[in-house]
Structure 1
Amino acid sequence: DAFQETDVINITAPVTKWNYQVTNPEEIPAVLAKAFYIASSGRPGPVLVDITKDAQLKTFEWQGYTKCAHIRSYRPKPHVRVEFIDAAAALINSAKKPFVIFGQGVILGKAEAEFKAFIEKGGFPAAWTIMGMSALPTDHPLGVGMLGMHGNYAPNVLTNECDVLIAVGMRFDDRVTGRLDRYAKQAKIIHLDIDPAEIDKMVTTTVPVWGDCKETLPLLTERLQKQDHSDWLAKFHELALKEHEVVIEQELFPESGQLTMGEVIRTVNEITNGEAIIVTDVG
């Protein structure tokens, strides 16, 4: 082995979508084109290209760069199976307390408009993961807050009261679910995801819907019956008001005499007339 040589390909295989070792410099343009295509298509993910030392030192005749648009052995997204769309629609149309939870997959799929049309036709309360936050305006009347350990009271409580849970582009991370043995055990679960490996990985689904949500959501929406779930939605608003009174109000307007992060952000927002972009971190 060479000095300080490491088996980079096998070391990085578990944490990359694709990797490749270049030993011939003539491979570099095509391999990089392939790498960019795999990284950015389907479910985006990290790739690694390892260019060996001898390949770096050699010269070759440059033939130009051609973008990669197809790889025979690689399918960026699965074929949509209409029978699963039909099964999901039937389950949703029979629901009395449907609840939609959504993640970054909606954003990565550029399916914000399709998602909005879906929840509006069904009148579904919808909650986001921290990575899915901007897929729906936070002031949308069907938006009921964020899920998980850093999320809001209503969506976390009512996850365990809904009868049909519709997950769109999210992976049931433990920051969202908490204890899996107590998570939505009463609900039938529909999971829309582009990556079949995520289906049934953490939570067992009743109906899996494989595919790009930009394609699957319109198919599902056209099969929906327009329904009124206003009583169910009112429960979210009732718990949101309780959370605001007990938790948020004290954070924004503390009476202890000590500064809170909520008070700081509120004050900065007021001073800037709500026109400043305020960037915060977890703290």
Structure 2
Amino acid sequence: MVHIDQDDGFLDPAVYGDTIAEAYDGFYSSPDQTVGAPGTGATAADFLYARAGAGPVLELGVGTGRVALPLAAQGVKVIGIEASPRMLARLREKPGGSDLDLKLGDFTELDVPAASLSLIYVVFNTFFMLADQDAQVRCFTSVASALRPGGLFVLEAFVPDVARYDHGQCVQVERLAGESTQLSAAVHDPVAQRIRHRRIVLGPDGVRTYPADLRYVWPSELDLMGRIAGLELAERWAGWAGEPFTATSGYHVSVWRRPSV
């Protein structure tokens, strides 16, 4: 059994973002990388555009704008909140990035007017970066307050698979490219539902480590959080193109609605 240093605490999402900001697009934009649920950033933007209504919409953990920029390019007013200053700096450098309404902060408490948004979304497991169940429930409650009646909350995340951890750990080769080797190392705490993950890149320039801690949640627990916040499940798919969600799906795109009355 691997030893987990409990003194390290849960990694602040801002640390994750600041550490990976310069490399993020390289990791998740190359053709051989699978990012979250099936579909590209453009496919996700199409899915969200079809549900955005009159807007505006809010992305939680906007990052470098992989989804926000193609969505805004379709004429939707996009607000983005992000914990990492370096991620926001990268986004502002991109074409269209300076046109977004960007806010620095976490997304457990949303600094937006009540009932002002038609759609709020969070993609690529970013919701799991909230440290515990209490923080995740607070996020759902804040989202519900910020949505207009009939507004939607869209969340993309993996379906937990505890079988992939042998004696509480998992090490995989993610990529081999020229002189570079990319490894994924993770340890699993099933009681706290936490994964401590480190991406390790070895190459001619030395060794780089990119840390990320996740508190994962099963879809059924997310549905309960939604009910606590006053939201109702409206849709669940296995990908952004509307693939059916089944017992074998590795990802889900779930949509909750704030009731109209």
Shorter chain as normaliser: what TM range?
A: 0.3 to 0.5
Higher relative CO (Cα under 8 Å, sequence separation at least 6) belongs to 2
TM-score, with structure 1 as normaliser: 0.34
Decide which structure has greater helix share.
1
TM-score, with structure 2 as normaliser: 0.36
